[in-house]
Amino acid sequence: MSSGRATQELLDRLVEGARAAARAGRVADYIPALARARPEAVGAAITSVEGELLESGEARAGFTLQSVSKAIALPYVIDARGEEAVFSRVGKEPTGDPFNSIIRLEASSLKKPYNPMINAGAIVLSSLMPGSTGEERAAGFRGYAAALLGLPSLALDEEVYRSEAATANKNRSIAWFLKELGLVEGEVDEALDGYFRQCATLVDAASLSRCGACLALDGLEPGSAGGSGRRLMSERAARVTKALMCSCGLYDGSGAFCVEAGIPAKSGVGGGILASARGRAGIGSYGPALDPRGNSAAGLSIVEGLSRELGLFAL
């Protein structure tokens, strides 16, 4: 990154400027635990590949990963089970459908989820995680994620987890269809339970940015010498994940985001965005007020602004 001070000022300015976007957004309200988020909350952080962290606003406010977890589950399962185990059951192609659509499972000749960034793909991956219960699998996932986020451990938001499990009729429908297609390993209910737990993992923007920096180093731990040498994720898993974040990371707004920011990113309805600028830095943002596509309104504004001002457009 250019001078730390200039970047800090830029970050402060973008966080401040994003408050207007936040006011135009809406907090997810399909479960009470998410509906209680403060829509005006905005925070962001950058971790350089050297490991330097800059933060602004509510960069330490806790929120649940939700779909951001898909960008961590993917390298976790690739590293744990191998690429073949994953991509024999899930595709690599973007789909123009909503994240929770079931139509293509029936209509497409592919007979598997189009990619791991939609719910159907993520439920399959949940079933492939080491362990046989949702609880065991989610514990393993949290361990892998904690290393990427630079934390000793990660906690589960019990209330969010319970709410999601109680209202997940559509996801249950998807999961049983996946079982019919032979894509779920083990019990459907355990695959779902693991998925709900993974989505309910508590994080903050600061630690997300560290995960982004690891992706920016193709899986190495950020550190003083442009990569400490400690590998947290295989290089292949990092590249696969970033490629799929690029085409499928922001729901129905993935293409438009790629035009504006030109870097891989993944959003979640909890308000988080994780982004990665190759060889430069990772970005984490928080803002629970969502745009109509389900992406953090403030987060989009901040990440696009950082890409524009820091010249991160990678394509």
Find the binder of a second copy among 114, 161, 195, 286 (CB under 8 A): 114
Q: Which two tokens stand for residue 198?
A: 């993974």
186 binds a second copy (CB under 8 A): no
103 binds a second copy (CB under 8 A): yes
- Residue range at the interface with a second copy (CB under 8 A); choices 15-23, 126-134, 197-205, 244-252: 244-252
3 vs 169 by CB, closer to a second copy: 169
65 vs 248 by CB, closer to a second copy: 248
Is 67 one of the catalytic residues? yes
d(Cα 151, Cα 268) in Å, to the nearest integer? Answer: 20
- Residue range at the interface with a second copy (CB under 8 A); choices 42-50, 101-109, 125-133, 295-303: 101-109
Catalytic site residue from 76, 114, 161, 195 = 195
* Closest residue by Cα to residue 278 from 251, 233, 313: 313
d(Cα 72, Cα 180) in Å, to the nearest integer? Answer: 26
Q: Which two tokens stand for residue 169?
A: 């009729």
172 binds a second copy (CB under 8 A): yes
282 binds a second copy (CB under 8 A): no
Contact 72/203 with Cβ under 8 angstroms?
Answer: no
Find the binder of a second copy among 23, 60, 170, 230 (CB under 8 A): 170
Is 170 one of the catalytic residues? no
CA distances from residue 196 to 37, 154, 302 in whole angstroms, order as listed = 19, 15, 28
179 binds a second copy (CB under 8 A): yes
3-class secondary-structure state, position 219: coil
Q: What is the DSSP letter of 145?
A: H
The number of C-alpha atoms within 13 Å of 90 and in the hemisphere containing its C-beta is 28
263 binds a second copy (CB under 8 A): yes
Find the binder of a second copy among 9, 16, 29, 106 (CB under 8 A): 106
Find the binder of a second copy among 51, 62, 94, 226 (CB under 8 A): 94
179 forms beta bridges with: none
3-class secondary-structure state, position 56: strand
Q: What is the DSSP letter of 130?
A: S
Is 111 one of the catalytic residues? no
Q: Which two tokens stand for residue 231?
A: 């590998």
* Closest residue by Cα to residue 283 from 100, 29, 6, 15: 15
Find the binder of a second copy among 85, 140, 256, 309 (CB under 8 A): 256
Q: How far is the CB of 258 from a second copy (least distance, A)?
A: 4
What are the phi and psi torsion angles at 45 (to 5°)? -150, 150
Find the binder of a second copy among 47, 48, 67, 95 (CB under 8 A): 95
88 binds a second copy (CB under 8 A): no
Catalytic site residue from 67, 127, 209, 307 = 67
Query: In what helix (H) or strand (E) does residue 315 lie, and over which residues does it extend?
Result: none
Contact 250/304 with Cβ under 8 angstroms?
Answer: no
Q: How far is the CB of 107 from a second copy (least distance, A)?
A: 6
Other beta carbons within 10 Å of 202: 17
Q: Which two tokens stand for residue 238?
A: 């990092």
116 binds a second copy (CB under 8 A): no
Find the binder of a second copy among 7, 56, 67, 115 (CB under 8 A): 115
240 binds a second copy (CB under 8 A): yes
Residue ranges in contact with a second copy by CB under 8 A: 91-97, 101-104, 106-108, 114-115, 169-170, 172-177, 179-180, 188, 239-240, 242-248, 252-256, 258-259, 262-264, 276, 278, 313-315
The catalytic site residues sit at 67, 70, 195, 251, 269
